[in-house]
Amino acid sequence: MGGVVGITALMRPREALRASGQPPAAAAGTLMIGGDLSVNRLGFGAMRITGPGIWGEPPDPAEARRVLQRAVALGVNFIDTADAYGPEVSERLIAETLHPYPRGLVIATKGGLTRPSAPEWVADGRPQHLREACEASLRRLMLERIDLYQLHRIDPRTPLEESLDALQRMQEQGKIRHIGLSEVTPEQIEEARGMVPIVTIQNRYSLTDRRHDDALAYCEAQGIGFMPWYPMAGGKLMKPDHPGAKAIAAIAARYSISVAQLSIAWLLHRSPLMLPIPGTSKVGHLDENIAAAALSIGPDEWDEIENAACI
């Protein structure tokens, strides 16, 4: 592509957002999950409010609670967590901080990965484990029903039908509203949809990591929500050793925005079914992330950004 021709609209002024009565996260638009859950299309991933390595208590519990409170204040009404985060720490902090939950707040969680030790993430899709995991999440989150319960990973040792049957039974019991999957291929999604309704997919995806383009295309064709985890690829574009870092940083600097904001805005631009869930343990980073909801860039600029990111 040629040179940058100009951003068509930068940040919507905060004054305009206040005048409209909309919180900042609402600038991302909305996504309907499962036909009955409308959420702002920029959520919050609660993995980072735990300790280092997603293990144990956060180093600053008060700041973790402020992050959760601030997310809701900014209009985030979709929070994604999992029993494996901590483990159990993320779910517990959410409930301790936000319960009783504000009207319209959707808390999604996941089961099916266990943490025998800090570096270990072990799939366990056995029906008994999933039943116990879901019941424990209900207690920790202080919920009667989990709006979106996701199979954290498909367990190669357990037939998928058995895992999904356990989730469907809990759905029939009123303990789960909707079912989602994480880190799956189009073939696995198709197989699962032959057994139970699947409303969301959560796969690793970012500006610099598009390994799941085929899964996203499948979701777009079927009207299934897509949640990208690791949405900023660990800050790769902010590291000088990434080949495209200099070009991306120059575009961001020209318009006084961060590379992180540019990365989140690209995800929102990439598909109307995209629901980014960037996480952080700092209020300042959270404010920056949510501000990306109001960033709009013209098509020529997106082409240049995408090309630079894939160098």
Of the chain, the end-to-end C-alpha distance in Å amounts to 13
Beta carbons of 79 and 106 less than 8 angstroms apart: yes
**Which of 83, 172, 209, 60 has the alpha carbon at shortest distance from 135?**
83
Residues annotated as part of the active site? 85
Q: How far is CA 76 from the centre of its chain?
A: 12
Question: DSSP letters of 127-147?
Answer: HHHHHHHHHHHHHHHT-SSEE
Beta carbons of 67 and 288 less than 8 angstroms apart: no
The rounded distance, in Å, linking the Cα atoms of 247 and 250 is: 5
Beta carbons of 255 and 7 less than 8 angstroms apart: yes
Q: How many CB atoms within 10 Å of residue 21? A: 7
